[in-house]
A = this chain, B = another copy of it.
Amino acid sequence: MLGRINHIAIAVPDLARATATYRDVLGARVSQPQALPEHGVSVVFVELDNTKVELLEPLGADSPIRSFLEKAPTGGMHHICYEVEDILAARDRLKASGLRVLGDGNPKIGAHGKPVLFLHPKDLDGTLVEIEEV
């Protein structure tokens, strides 16, 4: 069911500083920052040869990244996003296996304009997993 890893998301307290580190110190290709107010984040994409890292900074009071950074002010790995071919079929299979889908169970349109769902980290060894239909 799982296809490619679409991205690994890292929550950062200072997006400009993190971007400079990945670009200037680690020598990676980075995008311009994008504000995604509907997702409560500003994001920079770090393009690796086979996948990407997304650096996420909180945007707005209701940002889902804000509480994460309150617990881990330095930042840290936030989630892994896997691609799936059919998100509704994936959701139904996961739910039938006892995994909890976050929210109301209906896919939302994610940061890349594709349907996404998040799975409860307690069901996956403490790892927040996003699935994205591609």
Q: How many copies does the complex hold?
A: 2
Contacts A5-B50, A49-B4: A125 and B27 contacting too (C-beta < 8 A)? no
Check B3 against A49 for contact (C-beta < 8 Å). yes
Contacts of A55 in B (CB 8 A): 125
Q: How large is the interface on A (under 10, 10 to 19, 20 to 34, 35 or more residues)?
A: 35 or more
Contacts of A74 in B (CB 8 A): 121-122, 125-126
Chain A residues in the interface with B (C-beta under 8 A): 1-5, 8, 10-13, 18, 21, 24-28, 48-51, 53, 55, 72, 74-77, 80, 82, 93-94, 97, 99, 121-127
CB-based nearest B residue for A55: B125
A14 CB → nearest B CB, Å: 8
